[in-house]
Amino acid sequence: MLTLYHAPQSRSSRILWLLEELQADYEIAYVDIPRADGSGAADSKNPHPDKKVPALVHDGELITESIAIVLYLTDMFPEASIGPKVGDPGRGAYLTWLAYYAGVMEPVLNHQFLDLGDHEGLARTFRGRREMDKRILDALNRSPYITGENFTAADIIIASLGHFIREMLPANGVVDAYLERCGKRPALAIANAKDSPPSP
């Protein structure tokens, strides 16, 4: 059994989208989290060690960190063909974009949106927004999806950023078209309908 610990309109929303793409049999455990506006609170029901979302439990095993969850799930459902397997063409690009998101895009975007200023050490480690935008534009000018010709779970991660806050991705028509293309996925509409707890 798969259980997603989920808080609406958060980083776990993209895992909901992924589970729908995979046509997985899963249940949602809605949990509360502290929100930036001061509402919400840590939820004792949440098994995440930091009480964050997403958290996934599979037959008693806990998986945290969005990218670990993405890889765990696409490896678990290879028939959905949205995560190239070991030995498949495109596996390298898939791993690269997932790791680039967690290791570079998250820090660069957080730094920018929290207005933390420039530091030479940050540029050395992560580069910056200009380089990040170029990587994304180079990829999307080459092909319709971030890793190539086919939609993968890496698109769920990257497109979700732009669906949530458009300014997180480069201001460019190629990206607008990409967000529209990904936004039309039927699985996303199903996930969006589940993105809030059922009314009591």
Ligand X SMILES: N[C@@H](CCC(=O)N[C@@H](CS)C(=O)NCC(=O)O)C(=O)O
Note the residues at the interface with ligand X (CB under 6 A).
10-11, 33-34, 42, 51-54, 65-66
CB 172, min distance to ligand X, A = 25
Of 138 and 155, nearer to ligand X (C-beta) is 155
CB 142, min distance to ligand X, A = 27
CB 143, min distance to ligand X, A = 25
CB 138, min distance to ligand X, A = 24
Of 26 and 150, nearer to ligand X (C-beta) is 26
d(CA 184, CA 149): 17
Query: Where does residue 26 rank: exposed (0-12), middle (13-18), buried (19+ CB within 10 A)?
Result: middle
Q: Is the dihedral of CA 82, 93, 54, 106 positive or negative?
A: negative
CB neighbours of 173 closer than 8 A, spacing ≥ 6? Answer: none
Of 125 and 143, nearer to ligand X (C-beta) is 125
Of 42 and 177, nearer to ligand X (C-beta) is 42
- Residue of minimal Cβ distance to ligand X: 52
Tell me the two tokens of residue 106: 């998250």
| Pairing verdict, β 26-30 and 2-6 | parallel
Of 80 and 102, nearer to ligand X (C-beta) is 102
CB 196, min distance to ligand X, A = 15
CB neighbours of 55 closer than 8 A, spacing ≥ 6? Answer: 4, 5, 12, 46, 47, 48, 62, 63, 64
